[in-house]
Amino acid sequence: MIRYSILLFGIIATFLIAMFGLTILPKIFIDEGVKDPTYFTPFEVREGHRIFVREGCIYCHSKQTRPEGFGADVERGWGRASEATDYRNLLPHNLGTMRTGPDLANIGARQPGEEWHYINLYQPRAINEESIMPQFPWLFEVFSEDARPGRDGLNLPERFRIPGMKILPADEARYLVAYLISLDQETGVQ
Partner 1 sequence: MSQAKKSKQRKEFNVADLDRKARYVVLFLILSGVFWLLFGTLLALVASIKMHLPDWLGSAGWLTFGRVRPLHLNVMVYGWASLTGAGVSLWMLSRLLKVPIPLRGYIIVAGAIWNIALLVGSIQILAGFSRGIEWLEFPVSTMVVIVLCVIIMARSVIVMVMTRSVKQLYVSVWYIIAAFVWFPLLGLVSSFPIFDTPTVQAGMNWWYAHNALGLWFTPIGLAAAYYFIPKVLGRPIYSYGLSLLGFWGLALFYNWNGFHHLIGSPLPTWFITISIAASVMMIIPVVVVAVNHHMTVVGSFSAVTYSPTLRFVVFAAMSYTFVSLQGSMQALRSVNEVIHFTHFVIAHAHIGMYAFVTMMLFGACYYILPRITLREWHSKKLIKWHFWLTAIGIIIYAGALQGIGIFQGFSMNDPDVPFTDTVTMTIPYLIARSVSGILMSAGHLIFVWLLIRMVFQPGEQPETPLIWEKIRKEFAL
Per CB under 8 A, which of residues 92..151 are in contact with partner 1?
A: 92-95, 97-102, 124-125, 128, 130-138
Q: How far apart are CA 89 and CA 108, in angstroms?
A: 18
Q: Exposure pattern of 28-57 as b/e (b: 16+ CB <10 Å)?
A: eeeeeeeeeeeeebeebbebbbebbeebeb
Q: How near is the Cβ of 39 to partner 1 at its closest, in Å?
A: 11
Q: What is the CA radius of gyration of the chain?
A: 22
Residue 87 Cβ, how far from partner 1 at the closest point, in Å? 4
Residue closer to partner 1, measured from CB, 19 or 165: 19
Burial label, 113 (beta-carbon count in 10 A; 0-12, 13-18, 19+): exposed
Residue 84 or residue 147: which is nearer to partner 1 going by CB? 84
Identity of the residue, 72 or 149, whose beta carbon is nearer to partner 1 in the bound complex: 72
Binding to partner 1 (CB under 8 A) within 47-76 occurs at 53-60, 62, 64, 66-67, 70-72, 75-76
